[in-house]
Structure 1
Amino acid sequence: MTQVPDFTLIPGETGDTLVFTGAMLVSTLGPLDRRLRTITTPIAHIDLAGITGIDTVGAWICCRISQETGATIVHADDAATRLIEALRQVDADSPMQAPSRLPVWLRVPDKVGEAVIGMAFGSVAVLSFVGQMILAAGGLLLHPARFRYRALVHQMELVGVNSLAIIGLMSFLVGIVIAQQGAEQLRQFGAEIYTVNLVGRISMRELGILMTAIMVAGRSGSAFAAEIGTMKLTEEVDAMRTIGVAPMEVLVLPRVMATVLMMPLLGVYAAVVAIIGGAFLSQFALGIPFFSFLLRIREVVPIHDVWVAVVKGPVFGLIVALAGCYQGMQVRDNSEEVGKRTTAAVVLAIFTVIVLDAFFAVFFTEINWG
């Protein structure tokens, strides 16, 4: 049985002698350390003749007392001497001072270089992830019985059906804002009737699908990252691989396919609700009857505006789902990573969607769908 450590103070002419007895081990030193910190008398010597064992923590306590009081350590055996000398050498080789910082004209390029290199490695990782997803999709085409249809339907419900209320409310209010602000500007030229054109085209062509993509990124993209990231932390993803289930087929593909399929529908739905919001405001603010507003929409909104939204939808859905699933699969080590990766998924998805929307605007103008 391990002997509990203890100490006694023997008075001397130049100072007390601190005599240790027992085993000075990490498992037994807690109460002793608290008592040692209450000593107020000067200590000249630390006597280790009575100890029955010592580890690094016990040696560190002796070194600390020696440094604080200037006491000399005496009667230490070979093991204690080696530990004490090793700790003293570490202290001598590691001065307690903060490292000097680079000057700002070097620090800024250094950070920019790190960011560029990080983007390069990140791009390679994203391409690798997309490649794995394509291989998984090819495997499912060869073996369709492995496809998780229930998971796809469940994700379609989460991404599409459950988001109808929030997207509808947002789109309705956006339509009201567009109609109100547009009417205020057009009234200066006596052209309030063109509020119908403004609301119809901007809702169907741009804001309907763009705002929907941003909402889905914040709602479903973040959920994808958090769910998969949590499964990575709890080692559920590793367990799937152990039993022969491919995480790409079970976790990633159903979410990506559900988002790609539901985004065009949600985009058209958002545009329609935004037009209804504009018609609602126009009836009270502009005197345009509600149904007359809706009938005029058929005249002023060309059919290719609807196709623009339908074409953008799957692309935006693919970007949102890929960002969420990729960031979730990159979670490592601790729960803090889940929050960071979830934030990164939302930011990456929204940024990429806005950049692609600008590209689509130029592209459709060039093919005379402007």
Structure 2
Amino acid sequence: MTIHAAQDVARASLEKDGDSTRLSVAGRWTIHNSETMESLLAGMERLPAGRLHVDLSQLTGLDTAGAWLLHRYRGDLEFRGVRVEFDGLRPTYATLLEEVERLHPPPWKPEHHPWSLFGMFERTGRQVVEVGGDVRSVLHIVGSLVSVLTNVIRRPRCLRLPSVATQFDRVCIGAVPIVMLMSFLIGAIIAQQGGFYLRQFGAEVYVVDLSGVLVLREIGVILTAIMVAGRSGSAFTAEIGSMKMREEIDALHVIGLSVTEVLVLPRLLALIIAMPILTFLSNLAALFGAGLISWIYLDIAPRVFIQLMKAAVTPETLMVGIVKAPFMALIVGLVACVEGMKVSGSSESLGTHTTLSVVKAIFMVIVVDGLFAIFFSSIGI
């Protein structure tokens, strides 16, 4: 069987001799004849398992496209059990075919990691190195912030107030509804669950003390920080990461602008200002939810709830949660900006670092809250 291409540019003939088959390839197998070459190979009849000799001695031209087609054709036949051998190939063409075969991606195989003690030590060591790199990156941004703040104090005009106002609108004002709604629900749940168990001992009135102290000292600020990390921290990472992908960060360096001054400082200032406000509003919403449930579920009138709340909490109780808020904001902002700067040039990297930003920020918020709890307990507050 012989198949002729238009203008006799590329040719291929298939001859059978017992169990052996011979395929003669001739003409110019280049990108200009790619459609013809595809039709030539597609028109070949299906060969049974055996041996196929491909005669390439009559080739007058071969480029990467032709070499790839021949390589793919051989791979398809060998997958079906046909042994393929190339004969009469010029040294230059043989080099091209070898290069195409070398660069062909290997089939994907799932990695199997059998458990071993040394493997566990290795993974632990790698994680420790990654943590050290994160700490170094955070310290780098902190040092850069100190330098930028020193410059801002000397020249206040360097502070980009419109950027700070824009970020404050997004971080604080835009987050008020969701923060207050979640806090209201959490406060209501605390009051309901506390009243349910305290009622068994006839001490349901102490649900006011429970709600007031727990919300003002811990729940309000932690809940606000977690929601800010998931909402604003992820947004910071995605914004800076997308700018890194589009090489806008490099453009800022080229034109002589400080990335910390333009991108990091306005976001951190807006977050530090917004967190105490959001924490205070979160406290109000949570206490309102606790008071509403106490009235409906425990028959504690609002007037009585307020009187008991005044006796249970002090100004120091409120300030414990408010004092934590700026530190939580600083942690969330630093982690978000560091992860944004680590984004590489792919969307997968952007998604990975956005997820890591939220996870690391929430983890650090809880750790810092525990340290604050130890500190305030040690000084008797």
> What TM-score, normalized to structure 1?
0.87
SS of the equivalent of 1:368 reads coil
Q: After alignment, is 262-271 or 114-123 more displaced? A: 114-123
- Residue 353 of structure 2 is aligned to residue 349 of structure 1: no
CA deviations over 1:64-101 (Å, ceiling 9, x no partner)? 64974444512x4342244456678x69xx9x999986
Question: Partners in 2 of 1:333 and 1:107 — Cα distance?
Answer: 30
| Partner of residue 92, structure 2 | 79
Shift of 1:232: 1.1
8 A Cα contact 2:252 2:259, kept in partner: yes
Question: Partners in 2 of 1:228 and 1:195 — Cα distance?
Answer: 45
Q: Which 4+ runs in 1 deviate beyond 6 A? A: 85-88, 96-100
8 A Cα contact 2:272 2:326, kept in partner: yes
Unaligned runs of 5+ in 2: 1-6
- Residue 49 of structure 2 is aligned to residue 35 of structure 1: no
Shift of 1:158: 0.9
Q: Assess, with a 3 A threshold, how the Cα gap between structure 1 residues 256 and 27 changes in structure 2: closer, same or farther.
A: farther
- Residue 29 of structure 2 is aligned to residue 24 of structure 1: yes
8 A Cα contact 1:4 1:23, kept in partner: no
- Among all aligned residue pairs of Structure 1 and Structure 2, give the percentage whose two residues are the same amino acid: 35
Q: Assess, with a 3 A threshold, how the Cα gap between structure 1 residues 280 and 331 changes in structure 2: closer, same or farther.
A: same
Q: After alignment, is 192-201 or 314-323 more displaced? A: 192-201
Question: Partners in 2 of 1:223 and 1:98 — Cα distance?
Answer: 33
CA deviations over 1:111-151 (Å, ceiling 9, x no partner)? 22221222222222222222222222222223321211011
Query: What does 1:86-105 align with in structure 2 at a 5 Å threshold?
Result: 104-105=116-117
Q: After alignment, is 303-312 or 343-352 more displaced? A: 303-312
8 A Cα contact 1:175 1:273, kept in partner: yes
CA deviations over 1:225-247 (Å, ceiling 9, x no partner)? 11111111112222222222222
| Partner of residue 205, structure 1 | 217
> What TM-score, normalized to structure 2?
0.85
Q: Assess, with a 3 A threshold, how the Cα gap between structure 1 residues 289 and 4 changes in structure 2: closer, same or farther.
A: farther
8 A Cα contact 1:46 1:62, kept in partner: no
Question: Partners in 2 of 1:98 and 1:275 — Cα distance?
Answer: 52
Question: Partners in 1 of 2:347 and 2:115 — Cα distance?
Answer: 35
Query: What does 1:1-370 align with in structure 2 at a 5 Å threshold?
Result: 6-9=10-13, 11=15, 13=17, 17-26=22-31, 28-29=33-34, 31-33=36-38, 35-37=40-42, 38-40=44-46, 45-59=53-67, 61-62=69-70, 65=74, 68-74=82-88, 76-84=89-97, 104-369=116-381
Shift of 1:358: 0.8
Shift of 1:161: 0.9
Q: After alignment, is 116-125 or 174-183 more displaced? A: 116-125
SS of the equivalent of 1:165 reads helix
Q: Assess, with a 3 A threshold, how the Cα gap between structure 1 residues 57 and 199 changes in structure 2: closer, same or farther.
A: same
Paired AA for residue 46 in structure 1: V
8 A Cα contact 1:140 1:147, kept in partner: yes
SS of the equivalent of 1:222 reads helix
Paired AA for residue 11 in structure 2: F
